[in-house]
Structure 1
Amino acid sequence: MQGAPLWGWLGPVLVTVFGGILRFVRLGDPRAVVFDETFYIKDAYSLLTFGVERHTLGDVKDPIADRRILAGNLDIWKHCPEPSDCAAFVAHPPLGKWMIGLGEWMFGMNPFGWRFAAAVVGTLSILLIARVARRMTRSTLLGCLAGLLLALDGLHLVLSRTALLDIFLMFWVLAGFACLVVDRDRARDRLAAWCETHPLTSYGPRLGPRPWRVAAGVCLGAACAVKWSGIFFLVAFAVLSFVWDMGARRAVGLREPYKGTFALDLPQATAAMGLAPALTFVASWASWFARDGGYGRGWAQATSSGPLFFVVDSVRSWLQYQVQVLGYHTGLDLYHPYKSEPWTWPVLFRPVLFAQETGGTGCGARDCSETVIGAGTPALWFAAWLALLGCVVWYSSARDWRAGAVLLAVAAGWLPWFYYAVADHRTMYLFYMIPVVPFMVLGLTLVAGLALGRQDARPGRRAAGSAVAGALALVVLINFWWLYPVLTGETITQAQWWARMLMRSWVEAAPK
């Protein structure tokens, strides 16, 4: 059912509230610096304090500095005679760290503060996926199903409760896709209205302003400003939007739809999906441009002559910095016990252990465990990948745009890592898949919609489809509930912890 507009918002909001409760309850636990939070929480606080990332008194990943922060002592940054002496080379653009810093500014330099922004965007992404699924399926029920499934994914939950960058990347990618889906609907409505009052021509009309596509470009530029891997989605979605334009002009019967798309839509598409993301990405570096002390900034040299030289030299320094970052990423092949290869990600072969404390009391046994492991909910992931195979068949036979869009998004977020694994032997982790998870959920939701059938389908067909969808949601819920203690660091016995390690590869040491 499509349902009334009120339920179209109320249903997704209720699901979002449920997901938000899961993400915000005990957000400050574990009260420790978890996994790579040690990099990003310090960079975020340094941006708030100095406008650029600076070195701390010890190494960036320094347990002593972490303990001082947890004790409320923030005097861990070096005193530098010259700001450039403390400039820290950082491997990721600054937007995600600014978002983490917003929580630190609001609630202080503590676990709740530095995880607050991640929990917010993780919760909002549940609302986004529910609304996108509703728009793509015209069903409030399926929209709520999509939101519920994302809320119950273990990897999404862990990253929503951890101050890493990947949840922000996921949010902006999903937001960009959502804007493009709205733009597709608005452009087709506008084109259909024109055709009702005008004779068909070779090219058709100009479609006028496309603010939703510009918004998509800004969101995807923001994704790149969190992590460079956002570029994969930007390129894929730019092509997707352009193909949708060609399909729209062809669908209304224009004589030369492809030429019309190139002549009338390409210039605006280039601005929206090329210029807007580029400006967004550069704008995220505004503090680096405006302050002395950033890595590679060359402030003294840039200010040695007039305004024109300042601009030219600043751009040169910035581009040189980006080249160094690219070299860092392509050469990153350090051993890590929880690294994994991209072809193992769909089966959750090697999750990342974010935190673990053993011993202590409080579980009713001699040996207790408090663990946070970044694993997806297996029932959801396995069902989603089966559904994606179904989407391949569906798109091959019916050319349904929804199946094609989901498959393209999954390919954009997953397949590029194969190149880095084979060519560069790059160090990678399962949580790199988090931007793909919403599209896995969308694929599963679309297949559930096929099981339900159309609104006018036989009642028996609808009842059977509803039973299948409901059973799926129940199995995912039970699986998520079983794993919940090791996703959130609850105190459990060692025996209970072992029972939740579903594969030996979750706990075995990886070979060097």
Structure 2
Amino acid sequence: MSNWIDRLIINPFARSFARLSDHLIWLSGHPVFGVMVIVFIAFSTRLWNLDGTADIVFDEVYYPKFAQNYLHGETLFDAHPPLAKYIIALGIQLLGYAPLGYRCMTALAGALLPLVIYEFIWQLSDRRDWAWLTGCFVALDGLLLVESRYGLINTYILLFGMLSQLCMVLALKRSRQRWFWTLVTGLMLGASFSVKWTGLAYIIGLIAISAYIWASHRQKLNLPQIIIGLIILPIAFYFLQWIPHLMINPERDIWELHRQIFGFHQNLGAGKSEPIHPYCSPWWSWVLLIRPIAYFFEFRPNSMVEFVHAMGNPILYWLSAIALLICLTFLIASRLRFPPQLITQMHPKKRSQLFWFMFYVTSSFAAHWLPWSLSKRCIFLYHYMPASVFAFAALSFLVSLAWRSPLANIRAIGSGIFVSIAIAFLFWLPIYIGLPISSSYLPVLMWLRSWI
């Protein structure tokens, strides 16, 4: 009886997913078509109906106004460096002080981010399947989508930070253009922590990339390139970008300004018995997606609601958490010299690559996530965004390994993961982009009570 059921149901199901795997693997291996898929997902979801939601959503009460202050030469105090507000101001200058004007540049940055990450993974690893899967997962994440559609600043940290990673790989791989790409790496790194200081965490990724390329290709930067390109230039860029701000706000010098900013972050909600904001969440909860953030909620006629929920793709988050644990287990096992038999049978070069790729994603993830454990202030899920990209890269790497398996069932599992993430993205898309939905349907989307 069980054999009959297996032939009738299970085997056709597995064969269908195996065929799907073949199509997806083909798509990932053909960059023109694969990149077109990423472009379509990223640009259509980020740019569609940008001015269709309310004029002010969440922290848009701050950043577009700060950008307008810069355009009008009006004084302001902001708890972050000014670079992202300069960029938002450019959109306002082009399209006016309206939702489309102060959201367009962030939306463009968010749409480009999956493509930058695709190119980075490809240049780092020469693995089209890993690069394509990572680009798709980044495009299919809800939190990254929500943050990209409004006049907010976190998306710029990721864009500049991941550009620094890409340029570092190019600097090490292209010896004839090494100075150029080293300088661009420094500029992108400086731009990242010129949005928020947390962009400094990308330094760990630069070190891991350098270690991998030295171990595998014996390529490295010389001392002048490191000092000028990766130390002096980022710091110089950081201080230079403050000049317009200081010209508008001459009452504080650069050091007094930094002292006040540091004090603001140090004391935000510290020592309070109750959270200062209903959506504060502890750092450890982010990887499990326990407490998202409601950015906008409004009742509509006929029992409809418009709801924008800054929430990651749940299936993507939970599977990425498992993938990180698998990668960490492999790293520990390989250092203790008791890796699984499947790993020991690999060619030493492939085994070394496996170690370095997992080391890069886990160390970069830790660099962006663990420092928040020291924070005493009120923190939010969106602070997890830079770390989340590396969690997605860990999952996509394991899926790419499954796709390379000679066993059809293993390839089908990899494709099943991809399909489940894509379905989850479509399922929660209405509350990512603020589509009107029935108030009776909203509880269907709120799987956990802590999501409300």
2:393 matched to which residue of 1? Answer: 442
* 1:23 shift after superposition: 1.1
1:213 matched to which residue of 2? Answer: 182
2:272 matched to which residue of 1? Answer: none
Structure 2 residue matching 1:354: 3-state secondary structure: strand
Distance across 1 between alignment mates of 2:287 and 2:388: 10
Q: Which of 209, 227, 241 lines up with 2:196 in the alignment?
A: 227
CA contact (8 A) 1:118 1:160 kept: yes
Distance across 1 between alignment mates of 2:250 and 2:412: 57
* 1:172 shift after superposition: 1.0
* 1:94 shift after superposition: 0.7
* Matched residue type, 1:108: G
CA contact (8 A) 2:288 2:321 kept: no
1:268 matched to which residue of 2? Answer: 225
1:21 matched to which residue of 2? Answer: 44
CA contact (8 A) 1:2 1:138 kept: no
Structure 2 residue matching 1:434: 3-state secondary structure: helix
2:266 matched to which residue of 1? Answer: 330
Change (3 A) 1:450 1:394: farther
Deviations 1:189-233 (A, max 9, x none): x8xxxxxxxxxxxxxxxxx84332322221111011111111222
The answer on 1:498 being equivalent to 2:443 is yes
Change (3 A) 1:30 1:111: same
* 1:5 shift after superposition: 12
Change (3 A) 1:449 1:238: closer
1:257 matched to which residue of 2? Answer: none
CA contact (8 A) 2:168 2:206 kept: no
CA contact (8 A) 1:338 1:351 kept: yes
2:291 matched to which residue of 1? Answer: 350
1:67 matched to which residue of 2? Answer: none
* 1:241 shift after superposition: 4.6
* Matched residue type, 2:316: L
The answer on 1:42 being equivalent to 2:54 is no
Distance across 1 between alignment mates of 2:327 and 2:82: 36
* 1:240 shift after superposition: 2.7
* 1:13 shift after superposition: 3.8
Q: Which of 94, 100, 115 lines up with 2:82 in the alignment?
A: 94
1:483 matched to which residue of 2? Answer: 428
Deviations 1:41-93 (A, max 9, x none): 0001111221xxx4xxxxxxxxxxxxxxxxxxxxxxxxxxxxxxxx3221111
* Matched residue type, 2:58: F
* 1:32 shift after superposition: 2.3
Change (3 A) 1:18 1:5: closer
Q: Which of 362, 371, 379 lines up with 1:416 in the alignment?
A: 371
Distance across 2 between alignment mates of 1:443 and 1:12: 20
Distance across 2 between alignment mates of 1:485 and 1:472: 22
Structure 2 residue matching 1:370: 3-state secondary structure: strand
CA contact (8 A) 2:165 2:206 kept: no
1:240 matched to which residue of 2? Answer: 208
* 1:477 shift after superposition: 1.2
The answer on 1:473 being equivalent to 2:414 is no
Which protein shows a greater Rg? 1
Distance across 2 between alignment mates of 1:280 and 1:442: 29
Change (3 A) 1:353 1:443: same
* 1:131 shift after superposition: 1.7
Structure 1 residue matching 2:312: 3-state secondary structure: coil
Alignment of 1:55-454 (within 5 A): 87-186=75-174, 209-234=178-203, 236-244=204-212, 246-247=214-215, 265-289=222-246, 291=247, 293-294=248-249, 296-297=251-252, 317-333=253-269, 335-358=276-299, 360-361=300-301, 366-396=302-332, 397=334, 398=351, 400-420=355-375, 425-453=376-404
Change (3 A) 1:167 1:5: closer
CA contact (8 A) 1:296 1:318 kept: no
* 1:123 shift after superposition: 0.6
* Matched residue type, 2:48: V
CA contact (8 A) 2:63 2:85 kept: yes
Distance across 2 between alignment mates of 1:407 and 1:29: 38
Distance across 1 between alignment mates of 2:304 and 2:393: 38
Deviations 1:374-413 (A, max 9, x none): 0000100111111111221333325521111111111111
CA contact (8 A) 1:12 1:143 kept: no
Structure 2 residue matching 1:336: 3-state secondary structure: coil
The alignment yields a C-alpha RMSD, in angstroms, of 2.5
Change (3 A) 1:174 1:428: same
* Matched residue type, 1:210: W
Distance across 2 between alignment mates of 1:390 and 1:228: 30
* 1:247 shift after superposition: 2.7
* Matched residue type, 2:291: R
Deviations 1:95-133 (A, max 9, x none): 101111111111111111111111101110011122223
* 1:503 shift after superposition: 0.9
Change (3 A) 1:107 1:406: same
Q: Which moved more, 1:3-12 or 1:32-41?
A: 3-12
- In the alignment, structure 2 segments of 5+ residues that lack a partner are 1-23, 270-274, 335-350
CA contact (8 A) 1:242 1:269 kept: no
Distance across 2 between alignment mates of 1:223 and 1:180: 14
CA contact (8 A) 1:37 1:163 kept: yes
CA contact (8 A) 1:99 1:117 kept: yes
Change (3 A) 1:35 1:211: same
CA contact (8 A) 2:430 2:437 kept: yes
CA contact (8 A) 1:155 1:376 kept: yes
Structure 2 residue matching 1:495: 3-state secondary structure: coil
Q: Which moved more, 1:395-404 or 1:220-229?
A: 395-404
Distance across 1 between alignment mates of 2:207 and 2:307: 42
Distance across 2 between alignment mates of 1:211 and 1:417: 34
* 1:6 shift after superposition: 10
CA contact (8 A) 1:238 1:273 kept: no
Distance across 2 between alignment mates of 1:266 and 1:465: 46
* 1:370 shift after superposition: 0.6
Distance across 1 between alignment mates of 2:305 and 2:33: 39
Q: Percent identity?
A: 28
* Matched residue type, 1:355: F
